[in-house]
A and B are shown apart, each in its own frame.
Chain A
Amino acid sequence: MNVNLNLIITNLPFLIKGALTTIVITFFAFLLGLFLGLFVGIGRTSKIKLFRIPSSLYVQFIRGTPLLVQIFILYFGLPSAFNINLNSYVAGILALGINSGAYIAEIVRSGIQSIDRGQIEAARSLGMTHAKAMQYVILPQAFRRILPPLGNEIIILLKDSSLVSTIALPELLFNGKLVASRTYDYFSMYLGVAFVYLILTWAASQLVSYIERRFAIP
C-alpha cells in the first residue's frame, strides 16, 4: 500500500480551494452559533419561562438529533415540503450554525453559572439592574471562562463541516472525494484531506490559545 505523494501535491491547490470554502462556512456557521448560543444560553438561565422553555426545547431538539439529518431536512426537506429552495451554502451554514448554537448555548450557560454568586450580589448592591450586572460583570468573566470549551467547539465544527459535502458543497472533503473517485486512489487522497484538516484544526487551536492569553486576567 503506497501513498502517492505526487498525486496529493499535484491536487493540493484544489484541496486548498476546498479548504478555503471549509474555513468560510465554518466561520459563518460559528458566528451564527455564537449569536444563537449567547441568547439561548442566557435564556436557559432566565427566571422567565417564556425565555427558558423555548431555549431548552431548542437545545434538546438540536442536540438530540444527528447533524446529518438536520442538514438533509434543510436541504432536501424544505424544498419538498414548503417549496423553499436553499442553495447548498445557505443550507450548510444554517444547519451547522443552528447545530453549533445548541452546544454553545450549553457552554454559555455553564460559564454564567460558574461565576460566583457574590459577583452578581456586589453588582446589584451598587444599584445595577440585572441586565447591567450581566453586561459589565457576569458576561465578561464568563466569556474568559468559556474560551477553552469554545475553542473545542470551533474544532468540532470545523471537522463536522465535512458533512455538508453530502449536499454537494465544494468544501475540502468534497473536493478530495472528486479527485479520489477520478483517480481511484482513495487512500492517498483521503490521507491528504485528513492532513489538511489537521493543519486547519491546529491553526484554530493556536488562534484560540492566542485569544485566551490576550484576555487573561492576571
Chain B
Amino acid sequence: MIKVKDLHKKFGDLHVLKGISAEIKQSEVVVILGVSGSGKSTFLRCINRLEEPTSGQIWFDNKLITDPEADINRIRQHVGMVFQQFNLFPHRTAIDNITLAPIKLKGVEPLIARKLAEELLQKVGLGDKADYYPSQLSGGQQQRVAIARALAMEPQVMLFDEPTSALDPEMISEVLNVMRDLAKEGMTMVVVTHEMGFAREVADRLILIDKGVIVEEGTPEDFFNNAQNERTKAFLGKIL
C-alpha cells in the first residue's frame, strides 16, 4: 500500500533521513521505534508530505506521491493522521471537528456527516461528548476525537505520530485501546510510539530507526527476543 524508496530529508545542513526504504502492506500495523532525534517522526511526516522529502520516492496505492504534479490534497484525504498534540480545532465542538472535512472536502450532506460522526464518537467511547469544545475535554478524550476526525475521511491508512506522548499516564490506555480496536478491524497503521507494550502486542512488524537509517526490522518476537544488531540492543537496553 505504501512503498518508500531511498528517502532523504535534510533541514539545512542537518541530514535527518539518510536513505530510508520500506514497504507497508494492506492491513499491516507497523510500529516505528527510535530515540528522540532519530528521524522517526520526520519519516512519518514525509509519508503524507507534511515534510517535503529532499529526495527519494514514495508510492501510495501505486501512485507516486513525491511527484510534484501529484494531487497531494486528494491523496491526503485517504491518509489519516493523528498528532502528538492532538491539534483539534479549538473553535469547533468535537462533532464539528469530525464533520468539517467530510462536508467541505467530500461534499457529504451535513446531516449524514453528523450521523457518521456520532457513530465514530460512539466507537471511540465519546458518544456523550459531541457538543463539547476541545478545551472542555481531557487530553485522552481530545486524542480520541482526533482519531475520529481522521477516520471520518474513511482513510485507507492511518499515521500516528507519538499519539500518547503528550498524555498523562492514566489516559494513555484509553487511546491505545481505540488504536488496538482499529488494528483488529484491519486498518493499515503506521505508528511512531514509545509504548513498548503496544508495539509488542499489536504490531505486525517493528522498524527501528537510528540516526536516519533503518537499523532493524522484524516481528515483535524477533525484535524483543532475538535482537542481533548492537544498536538495537542498545536501544532496548535504554527503554526496557
A binds B: yes
**Are A119 and B50 touching (Cβ within 8 A)?**
no
Q: CA A86 – CA B133 in complex, angstroms?
A: 50
**Are A141 and B91 touching (Cβ within 8 A)?**
yes
Name the residue on B nearest A215 (C-beta). B91
Q: Is A147 an interface residue (CB 8 A)?
A: no
Name the residue on B nearest A126 (C-beta). B101
- Complex interface: chain B residues within 8 A of A137 (CB): 89
How many residues on chain A are close to B (CB under 8 Å)?
20
Q: Is A217 an interface residue (CB 8 A)?
A: yes
Q: Is B136 an interface residue (CB 8 A)?
A: yes
- Residues 35-49 of B at the A interface (beta carbon under 8 Å): 48
Chain A interface: which of B4-12, B74-82, B113-121, B224-232?
A: B74-82
**Are B135 and A217 touching (Cβ within 8 A)?**
yes
Whether A218 touches B91, Cβ cut-off 8 Å, given contacts A126-B105, A128-B104, is no
Q: CA A217 – CA B89 in complex, angstroms?
A: 11
**Are A127 and B76 touching (Cβ within 8 A)?**
yes
Interface centre among A125, A126, A132, A218 (most CB of B within 10 A): A125
- Complex interface: chain B residues within 8 A of A118 (CB): 83, 85, 87
**Are B105 and A217 touching (Cβ within 8 A)?**
no
**Are B83 and A122 touching (Cβ within 8 A)?**
yes
How many residues on chain B are close to A (CB under 8 Å)?
28
- Residues 83-128 of A at the B interface (beta carbon under 8 Å): 116, 118-119, 121-128
Name the residue on B nearest A217 (C-beta). B91
- Using a CB–CB cutoff of 8 Å, the interface residues on chain A facing chain B are 116, 118-119, 121-129, 132, 136-137, 140-141, 144, 217-218
A125-B83, A218-B136 are known; give 18 further A-B pairs, CB within 8 A: A116-B85, A118-B87, A122-B88, A122-B89, A122-B146, A124-B73, A125-B76, A125-B79, A125-B150, A127-B77, A127-B105, A127-B153, A128-B104, A132-B104, A136-B100, A141-B91, A144-B91, A217-B135
Can you list 24 A-B pairs, Cβ within 8 angstroms, ordered by A? A116-B85, A118-B85, A118-B87, A119-B87, A122-B88, A123-B89, A125-B48, A125-B50, A126-B77, A126-B100, A126-B149, A127-B73, A127-B74, A127-B75, A127-B101, A127-B105, A127-B153, A128-B73, A128-B101, A136-B104, A141-B89, A217-B90, A217-B91, A217-B135
